[in-house]
Homo-oligomer: A and B are copies of this chain.
Amino acid sequence: MSYNSFGHLFRVMTWGESHGPALGCVIDGCPPGITFTREEVQRFLDKRRPGQSKLTTQRQEPDQVEILSGVMPDDETPEKLTTTGTPISMMIRNTDQRSKDYSEIRNRYRPGHADYAYDLKYGIRDYRGGGRSSARETAARVAAGAVARKIVPHLRVRGAMVQMGTKKIDRTRWNWDAVDTNPLFCPDPDVVEEWTEYLNALRKDGNSVGAVIEIVAEGIPAGIGAPVYAKLDQEVASHLMSINAVKGVEIGNGFEAAEITGVENADEMRMGNDGSVRFMSNHAGGVLGGIATGQPLVARFAVKPTSSILTPRKSVTAEGKDVDVVTKGRHDPCVGIRAVPIGEAMVACAVADHYLMHRGQTGRVEKEY
């Protein structure tokens, strides 16, 4: 029911504004006995952290996470934390707030931003850096996702940028190992240089561009999910749509499914030599009727170009005057890049939640997990 939380049994509530003292999340419903370290959480936050290359905002935020509750440190190795089953509160202090940057837009609605909508809704708005609508909120998601990844044994969730503007990767060159070695999180190493130049040119030009991110989750136990309104694919889509600037989501072959026939689209099955079922394709993206089949879950989402650009755009003021708006401040020319770890986190949370729900309703737990 909540406006600022998601999940059923693995429930995450986030809080905090871009330019307030801090932001954070509380995870409620984490199983007891999960072990992790603060550094493991930090590693994912670092991946999302701004200021790491010219291709992302120059805001310098260390984004150091504090873990405030819900864990017991190990007696001998205190950095090793074990969840106790109680709420895990994690907090990140804001340090590099330059609220001054925003005084100019206090009464000006930035096109493509939530400014205008906020004023209509609440009649009051924290204009500093977008307030609650800032993508800084997503740091809290990434922290929650770091814990979520620990819950389902053998789960691996990875993401990559597969399209920037009209440029698409060559999928035959897909290389997961390359993803973490380039600042674009691109799985096709051959395009990185070209895309980087393209993005730098846009940035210098006061412009920005959109992107498509693909998330692949392997190791999802077959059977988790739900058949009608808490479908696993629906919830993955919903979670991804909740990320700032996302305008579209696909599962499996997605919009391509609209273009093909039933004969082509069928993921045929055969018994494998080991006595388990083999799918001969994965158009479904790992989900049938809302329930995981054991194939990799594949989701893609479209991120719109950053609305904060240096090119003037027509807008209005809160007082109803026409005005041209230039969004200074420090912004990403392609917010899609940093959306990669965020998308991973959201998928991990959806899977962990459904894992617990499935265990709750059915008690069916395969030997492997």
Contacts and interface: CB of A to CB of B under 8 A. Distances in A.
A249 interface: yes
Nearest to A24: B89
A169 interface: no
Nearest to A242: B234
Interface in A44-86: 66, 68-70, 72, 82, 84-86
Nearest to A306: B262
B222 A120 contact: yes
A238 to B, nearest CB: 4
Contact of A227 (B16, B118, B260): B118
A116 to B, nearest CB: 7
A289 B70 contact: no
A125 B70 CA distance: 10
B13 A321 contact: no
A293 interface: yes
A330 to B, nearest CB: 15
A268 B313 contact: yes
Contacts of A188: none
27 contacts: A2-B29, A4-B228, A9-B9, A15-B28, A15-B69, A31-B361, A84-B125, A112-B262, A113-B288, A117-B290, A117-B291, A118-B289, A121-B223, A121-B358, A202-B261, A208-B261, A235-B238, A237-B237, A238-B238, A241-B251, A242-B290, A258-B302, A260-B305, A265-B304, A265-B305, A266-B309, A268-B315
A86 B267 contact: no
Interface string A253-271: 1111111111111111111
A260 B84 contact: no
B69 A269 contact: no
Interface in A115-147: 116-118, 120-126, 131-133, 137
A70 B122 CA distance: 12
A27 to B, nearest CB: 9
Contacts of A164: 258
Contacts of A11: 1-2, 5
A307 B266 contact: yes
Given A121-B364, A360-B357, A361-B356, A109 B269 contact: yes
Given A26-B26, A69-B22, A210 B113 contact: no
A86 B126 contact: yes
B89 A15 contact: yes
B288 A258 contact: no
Contacts of A311: 262-263
Interface stretch (A170-178, A179-187, A189-197, A277-285): A277-285
B225 A117 contact: yes
B5 A117 contact: no
Contacts of A344: none
Contacts of A4: 26, 28, 86-87, 228-229
B362 A85 contact: yes
